[in-house]
Amino acid sequence: MEDKAASEALVPLFKLDRLLNQDQGGRRVALLGSIDDKPALLTAERAAFPSDIKTLEAFHKCLADVKNLGTNDIYHWYLASAGHGENSPPDLKLNLISPCTEKHIKKYSAQGVRMVTESPQIYKDHVRPYIAEQREEGRLDWVFNILEGRKEQEDIIFRDPGQNGAKDEAFLLAPDLNWDRKTTTSLHLLAIVERRDLWSLRDLRKCHIVWLKHMREKVIEATVEKYPEIEKDQLKLYMHYQPTFYHLHIHVVHVMLEPTSTQAIGKAFGLENIISQLESMSGGSDAGMADVSLTYTLGESHDLWAEVFQPLKEGTLGRHG
């Protein structure tokens, strides 16, 4: 309760600096500001948002009945009312990142998008060292908080200890912070593996096929058991590449969830397709996704575009680091 009250007290302290982005048909905004002179990033969703700063300032001031849904490290999420009247039902889902980093600001800012092809050699020489650097900077603290039982334990839908108790196959299923926890047609869950040597789909190999099939089966069973109004064929499972965070996880969404760029070709790789690709690969059990070329989208503000793929395009690419 103490954490919840402290988290809810943060939103009124947010001081708006500028609009970073407006997407999903104008129903979602990313706002950059500060709390106690430290950078903070607030996202909010509603019917439609204006883009002029004065109206956005007025919107923030009229927020009412801010109720914390959860807090983990620098991430906070809420339901709130736009202040239409006393006891108005929540009509906003708020996500707050405080303090936010330069990488958060880049991610949420409007930017151009490029299609890139990452060969196994580019992955080995440039992308994997980049991923290793990101993991060393403490950006996975919120994931480890969940896995190690410090945060969000009340939200965990299902824990699997692994087939026959194999610890390297254990995983858990929990709501994604972007879901409002009540609208089933916008359901969004995350299946997060407990082992820490799998950073992205690039680390998956033929030896993981049976485990991936087991995870898929257990995730779907646990989801429809928790939400009986959803049927098995109404669920879509995929992985992102590049992912938002480099610890292997699977997105579980309702098929009716509004398609966004995060579900588009070039960003989302279907779990069934990954399994099929692994099954059709030649080679032994160690052959895997690190051995194939992947084509995907990158924002122009992403470090990998600036440090790898733009120099590659311009013929100026050296070795990473």
Q: Is the predicted pLDDT of residue 208 greater than 90, yes or no? A: yes
Confidence band of 24 (pLDDT split at 50, 70, 90): low
Mean pLDDT, residues 43-68 taken together: 78
| Residues labelled as active-site residues | 249
Burial class (CB in 10 A: 0-12, 13-18, 19+), 12: exposed
Q: What is the pLDDT of residue 288?
A: 98
Question: What percentage of the chain carries pLDDT values higher than 70?
Answer: 90
pLDDT at 321: 46
Name the token pair of 104.
């958060």
DSSP string across 175-235 = E-TTS-SS-GGG-EEEEEES-SS--SGGG-BGGGHHHHHHHHHHHHHHHHHHSTTS-GGGE
Residue 215: what are its φ and ψ, rounded to 5°? -60, -45
- b/e sequence 75-113, b meaning 16+ C-beta within 10 Å: bbbbbbbbeeeeeeebebbbbbbbebeeebbbbbeebee
pLDDT at 1: 67
- Helix or strand run (H / E) with residue 54: helix 53-61
Lowest-confidence pick of 19-28, 72-81, 194-203, 210-219: 19-28
Higher pLDDT, 32 or 93: 32
Q: Is 25 a residue whose pLDDT tops 50?
A: no
Structure confidence by residue, pLDDT tens digits, 101-113: 998 998 889 899 9
Give the pLDDT band of residue 185 (cuts 50, 70, 90).
confident
Q: Would you give the DSSP letter of residue 46?
A: -
Query: Mean pLDDT, the chain, as a whole number?
Result: 89
